[in-house]
Every structure is written in structure tokens, then in C-alpha cells.
A and B are shown apart, each in its own frame.
Chain A
């Protein structure tokens, strides 16, 4: 859109476009394959199952996208989901708060936890990988310490469980929340200056700073957003399972990162899209679900996800490599002659 980086954007855009097309084709291939060999795979009920089972990881992947666009990462979102889930339970059961208030407080806790990441990463300029590795342990550790690993929160009222288990206006209730967050983040990333500055930071943080962008503030906002949405995911998770335990969301951060990278966002930042992430989430979710319906061992899902990720990455790296290959051969000869 902006003129100065137009030529670069054009190339990258073409590449991205390619990647997402490939992913869409993979998703369709998965769908048709499982629909052909699986039992009751293509039914509406099963489509809803897929949506409900991937809502929490999908939410985490959505907020992971802006972070990875800046060249950062957030390993703490899965742990934060666990911490928020049990704090939500504690606020409701032990502190006696009504559920809506407990939910609001939980979102606030998510904001504060995201804020901790934000201060350390944006203000103190510590590497995101290390900071969130720390909070990854810290948040989960808090959750385990508060419950001593055994306390479980259950017996939530049906009106709350409806959020995770019932339908609203034709879709599983939590899908509406997911869609709202998806649309919000898509607009944020693709239609605002906020989104453009995220990419600029991802391409070259120093350059963005010299260009007058509020780098610290943008980074902080991205991590705080992740905290809030992780808290929302925790509430949905609790409603879906009807229980909150300290081990909720274990390993979800890696699933989320996998979905984002599979969706074509570069782990180095600068390049990527929210719709790519959505395709990535869908490709993984359909694979996981389809294997069950096709009577294949579910353990294959991990293997196939890995293979899919590597194949998708290679496929989109190939044109770049080929483009580089020709000029390289010419310039490679002279240095070896003397």
C-alpha cells in the first residue's frame, strides 16, 4: 500500500499468496480425503466438534500472529490459560463472585499477566523468547501452587457451561467469540496503522524506531492483547470441560505457534497474515479430527502436522531459493580462482 516498500511488498505478497493457496488446497485435500474414507466426517455435528475443539488453540494462535509479526514470540500463553482458568474458578467458588464478575476479573488478570511480559520485553528490551520462557514456568507454577496440583474447580452452573457446550444462533456458542476475535485481529493487522507498524517492527526494529514509530508501545500492546485473549480462552476452556485444573492448556502455546507458522507467518517477523493463521488452525484441527473418523491412529496427527509444516515451509521457500540460485552461481566463481 505505501509506496516506498511497494516493490518489496509485491514480492512478499506474491509469496504469501502462494503459501496460503497451497495451504487452502491442503485443507481441501484433507477435507475430501477424510470425507471419502471417514465415517460421519462431513456432518454438521462433526464440523461443530472441530470448531469447539480448536477454539481455544485458535484464539491463542490469533493473538500469537501479531506477536510473531513483530519478530517476537509468546511461550507463556498456554500456562496463562491454566492460571486464568483456576483463578476464574477460585474467584467464583472461593471468593463468591458472580460468574460475569469473575470472568471480568479473569480478563483483567490476563491483561496484567500480559502486561508483565510487555514491560519486560518492550520496556527492558529483554528477548521475548527468554522472558516468556520465564513466565511460561511462572504462570504454570502459580497455578500449581495455588491448587497444590490437586484442587479442581467444578460444578459450574449450566448457564455458564452453555458457553462451551451449547449452541447459540446456529453455532456452538464459543465460535461466536472466536469469530469476533478473529475479525477484530484481522482488521487490526490488515487494516490499521497498528498492523502496519507491527510488520515494520518485524522487518527492522531499529528502522521502525528511526522512522518514528512507537515501537515499545506497539510491542507492549501486542503482548497485553495476548494476555487478555488467553484469559478469554481460559474461560471458554473451563466452560467446555466443566472443570478448571492447574494443567489446563498444557502445550497449547506450541500448537498455536505451529498454526501461525503453518499459516505462512515468518518466525523472523515482518511477513504473515491472520487468514493464513486461520487456515493453519483449520488444517491442523481437521487433521486431528479426521484421523479419528478415518479409524487411523490419532498419534499420526503429530507426525503429519510436522510433515505438513515442513512441506509447507519448503514449498514457499522454494521459489525464493530458485530465484537466488542463478545469480549465486555467477558470483560464486571468482572468489575460488585465486
Chain B
């Protein structure tokens, strides 16, 4: 028995070493095709937001004739994004486009990819600037803040009280938005007054409770602006249960799918976000042009095909102004 075992082991080892030579010849025929391979990574694979980005990316890949790999973590393991990127490095893809869940961790892997001559872009959420060539920025803080504030003014005829619900008072990106919202308010809408800003810890239930408190504490409140995604349906539910549908308007930054019900019922007036399909399209277009040499560091403008010419600020390509989802168009979007 034991002899049989060692015999099998020897035979398999011999076979193994014999077969080791084949990959080289295989890969040389593979690279002869010269079709660009772009690998696209979402923060997580099952997220409707990223599935919708992928739809746009697929379209771009078809238009441009590039091969698209799409992979990302399905489980909350922070090491997974790195492992997938390292697999892609070994596979020898031409460009990696990643939305970064673990900024610091993924930056090490992306840097390694760049050292191997692979182009790197990030989209949706950035990595460390030295680990990528370009960041595809879906919206600037100014763009988000101005769109929200202008929409609030439009719905309240530019006067009266309103309140903000945020995720936490320390979240960097939300504070940036709040700063810009307040700047826009001071600059353009003197008759409007921000009466309170409440944190909801990114929880829908807490947002609903805070909104209920805001409604009873501020009888003249005309609008609630929710700037984290769980707060938009949370605030809407509070307004609906208080019987103030229509009297107190609700707007916010969130996914159309989470708010469709309230928009149809007239509780929520507007949901602000970007077109995720366009974000996916732009990411692949930029990735392909980066590999072709059409997009170079230092460029000021980018020809984004069907999306027109877009501005480049520093090393981020900005998708443009956010999009407003309301009763007239929300049914067309499925994320």
C-alpha cells in the first residue's frame, strides 16, 4: 500500500513538472489577440448600485470592443478585494477599475498593479491618490450640495424653515456636503432657515425617530433634507405617519429603489443621485482610453463618447451634475 502511495506521488510530481511548461506557450497565443482586458471591481457584488454601474460598463465594453471582467467580494472579508486584484495582476489584465471598500488595504494591491505596468482607475470611492492614475468622480461635494439646496428652495419657494438629517456629525464626506449646503444657503436663499441638523447613525429607524422629533419641535418646518441614504425613507415614513404628507416636503440623497414607494405616494418629492449607468460607462471609457494612450495624466478635458466632453479636475474626471429622480422619471430606474 505504502509503495503504491509513493509511486502515485512520484508519478504525479513528474507529470506536474512536465506540464509546467505548457502555460508559457498558451499565454503567448492568448496575448496575440490584442483585445484590451479591463477588470471592474465593485465594493460588493450583490449591491444593486454596482449592478447598475455594471450595466453601463457592459455597454461601454461592447461599444469599445474590450473584454470586461467583473468581480468583487460577496462576503464582508476585507482581504477579498486585494486577493481578486492580485489574481488580476497575475492574469495580466490591461486596466483595473476599482471602487474601494478598504481604502488603505486596497491601495497596496493597486500600487503593486501599477508597478507591473497595469493602468489603474478608481470610481465611486477613491483609493490613495498615488495608487491610481485617475479617479472617476461621480459628483463633487459642491455639485451634490448645490443640487440639494436648489431643489429644497424650488420646493419651498425659497422661504421657510428646513432641517437636515445626516449619518453622523463626524462623517467627513457629509460634513463637506453640509458645509457646501450652508454656503449655498447663505449665498442665495436669505429667506430660508436651517433650524436643526440631526444625526441618524446611518439607520433608518433612528432617522424616522429623529424626523418625528423634528416635526413636533418645529411646527413651521417646511422641508426635511436627508443626506445619507437610509434617512430618506426614514424621514418619509415619519412625515407620512404624522399625517403631514405634502405639507412637509422630503428630499435627500439616496437610491431610487428605496424611495420609489414614497415618491409615488407624494411623501418624498425628489431623490438626488447620479446616473449609475453613466458612471459605469464613463469608468470603462476612461480605462480604455488610458490604456490606448488617448487619456494622459495632466489632461484638462476628457471625450467621454456619448456622455460628451467632461472636465478633469486635477486627476479626477467628474461625471457632472447629480441627477434628480422624481415622480416623473423614478420608474425608469431599477437600482
Could you tell me the dominant secondary structure of chain A's interface residues? Answer: helix
Binary contact readout B221-245 vs A (1 if CB under 8 angstroms, 0 otherwise): 0000000000000000000000000
A46 touches B90 (CB 8 A): yes
- Which of the segments A122-130, A194-202, A216-224, A238-246 contacts the partner chain? A238-246
Which A residues lie within 8 Å of B169 (CB)? none
User: With A242-B107, A292-B87 known to touch, is A32 a contact of B19 (CB < 8 Å)?
Assistant: yes
| B16 & A31 in contact (Cβ 8 Å cutoff) | yes
Residue tally, chain A, CB below 8 Å to B:
40
Interface check A165, CB cutoff 8 A: yes
- The segment out of B1-9, B58-66, B258-266, B294-302 that lies at the interface is B1-9
> Is B213 close to A, CB under 8 A?
no
Q: What is the minimal beta-carbon distance from A92 to any residue of chain B, in angstroms?
A: 15
Chain B interface residue bracket vs A: 35 or more
Question: What 1/0 flags go to B65-86 for Cβ under 8 Å of A?
Answer: 0000101001111110011101
Please state if B90 and A241 are interface contacts (CB–CB under 8 Å): no
Most chain B CB within a 10 A radius of its CB, from A14, A17, A240, A251: A240
Contacts of B69 on A, CB cut-off 8 Å?
295
- Of the candidates A17, A155, A165, A289, which one forms a contact with B87 in the assembled complex, judged by CB atoms under 8 Å apart? A289
**Contacts A21-B5, A49-B86, A241-B108; A42 near B22 (Cβ below 8 A):** yes
Q: How far is the CA of A155 from the CA of B74 in the complex (A)?
A: 27
* A9 part of interface (Cβ distance < 8 Å): no
Cβ–Cβ < 8 Å partners of B79 in chain A: 53, 237, 240-241, 248
Establish whether residues A49 and B87, one from each chain, have CB atoms under 8 Å apart when the complex forms: yes
- B30 contacts partner chain A, Cβ-Cβ < 8 Å: yes
Known: A241-B79, A241-B108. A53 touches B23 (CB 8 A): no
Q: Does A28 contact B (CB under 8 A)?
A: yes
Q: Among A33-41, A111-119, A319-327, which stretch is in contact with chain B? A: A33-41
B199 to chain A, nearest CB (A): 14
A-B contact count (CB 8 A): 98
Cβ-defined contact, B104 with A152, below 8 A: yes
- CB neighbors of A among B1-52 (8 A): 1-2, 5, 8-9, 12, 15-16, 19-20, 22-23, 26-27, 30
What are the residues of chain A within 8 A of B9 when measuring CB–CB?
24
The answer to whether B26 touches A245 (Cβ under 8 A) is no
Complexed CA–CA distance, A251 and B76 (Å): 9
Q: Is A293 an interface residue (CB 8 A)?
A: yes
Answer yes or no: A77 CB below 8 A from chain B CBs. Answer: no
Q: Does A299 contact B (CB under 8 A)?
A: yes
A292 near B84 (CB under 8 angstroms)?
A: yes
Q: Does B246 contact A (CB under 8 A)?
A: no
Nearest residue, chain A, Cβ from B79 = A241
- B102 adjacent to chain A (CB < 8 Å): yes
Decide if A242 touches B91 in the complex (CB within 8 Å).
no
Contact, CB under 8 Å: A43 / B22: no
Contact B76 A24 (CB under 8 A): no
Q: Which residues of B contact A248 (CB under 8 A)?
A: 78-79
Instruction: Tell me the minimal C-beta distance from A173 to chain B in angstroms.
Output: 15
* Among candidates A42, A293, A298, residue contacting B91 with C-beta atoms closer than 8 Å: A293
A-B contact pairs, 24 of them (CB 8 A): A17-B5, A24-B9, A28-B12, A35-B23, A39-B91, A42-B23, A43-B90, A52-B86, A154-B105, A155-B104, A241-B82, A241-B108, A243-B78, A243-B105, A247-B77, A247-B78, A248-B79, A292-B87, A292-B91, A293-B87, A293-B91, A295-B69, A298-B74, A298-B84
Interface residue ranges, B against A (CB under 8 Å): 1-2, 5, 8-9, 12, 15-16, 19-20, 22-23, 26-27, 30, 69, 71, 74-79, 82-84, 86-87, 90-92, 102, 104-105, 107-108, 112
Q: Which residues of A contact B (CB under 8 A)?
A: 14, 17, 21, 24-25, 28, 31-32, 35, 39-43, 45-46, 49, 52-53, 152, 154-155, 161, 165, 237, 240-243, 245, 247-248, 250-251, 289, 292-293, 295, 298-299
